[in-house]
Amino acid sequence: MKYIIYKIVKFILKPLFILIYRPTKIGSENIPKSGRVILAGNHTNNLDAAMMLYGCNRVVHMMAKKELFDSKLGNIFFRSMACIRVDRKIHDENAKSEAIDVLNNNEVLGIFPEGTVNKTKKILLDFKYGCVSFAKKTGSVIVPFSITGNYIPFKKSIKIIYGKPYKVINDLESENKILMKKVESLIIKGENYDKKK
């Protein structure tokens, strides 16, 4: 059975994740149930990858830094979790090819376009062009998302909000700015969510 370890791990860990962090999920109906999809959003914590897996009912192929794969155990685990190894120090053609294959197989690719955890006070770091480039090359839709709040055990703080899916049609520079604006808007929506309740 395809992705059996991924599904078993998610089946076991999802209830624990919900119990500990009590996440809020908004707009998950915006993720198409089939076809090639890129989930793209902000990145402020290493647990954001777990949040993405929690938020989507489909298998998400996460692009992950190569350091996670350096040990034999790490390589086996992250490969079994459908992750794509990325060497951030180079233009990793193998990672790009693998990501495009995922999309051409009508699956879901997860990307943090900032390329690293944002530890600054800026709302977003400048986005890399990989996300919009993959979308244009494969005709995939992008579903922007934001993760806001904090991972505080047993406190309902963290939330993920998905925006509407859309297609890339313009040049990559313009589309990258459009994606950043969409994610920024969702971050602001997430930060204001509790104030409106």
Q: For residues 65-83, b (16+ Cβ closer than 10 Å) or e, as one string?
A: bbebbeeeeeeeebeebbb
Cβ(57)–Cβ(143) below 8 Å: no
Which of 186, 184, 144 lies closest to 168, judged by CA? Answer: 144
Query: Using one digit for the tens of pLDDT, what is the confidence trace for 156-179?
Result: 999 999 999 999 999 999 999 999
Cβ(147)–Cβ(46) below 8 Å: no
Cβ(132)–Cβ(175) below 8 Å: yes
Which of 84, 102, 97, 15 lies closest to 50, judged by CA? Answer: 15
pLDDT over threshold 80, residue 2 = no
Number of domains in the chain: 1
- CATH number for the domain including 86? 3.40.1130.10
What whole-number distance in Å separates Cα of residue 100 and Cα of residue 132? 12
Domain containing 119 equals 4-196
* pLDDT at site 142: 98
pLDDT over threshold 90, residue 67 = no
Which of 143, 108, 111 lies closest to 129, judged by CA? Answer: 111
User: 3-class DSSP state for residue 114?
Assistant: coil
* pLDDT at site 1: 61
> Does an H or E element contain 4, and which?
helix 4-21
Q: 148 pLDDT band (50/70/90 cuts)? A: very high
Q: Which of 5-9, 53-57, 69-73, 139-143 has the lowest mean pLDDT?
A: 69-73
* pLDDT at site 197: 55
Query: Using one digit for the tens of pLDDT, what is the confidence trace for 77-131?
Result: 888 889 998 887 778 798 999 999 999 999 999 999 999 999 999 999 999 999 9
What whole-number distance in Å separates Cα of residue 132 and Cα of residue 149? 26
Q: 196 pLDDT band (50/70/90 cuts)? A: low
* pLDDT at site 25: 96
What whole-number distance in Å separates Cα of residue 178 and Cα of residue 131? 12
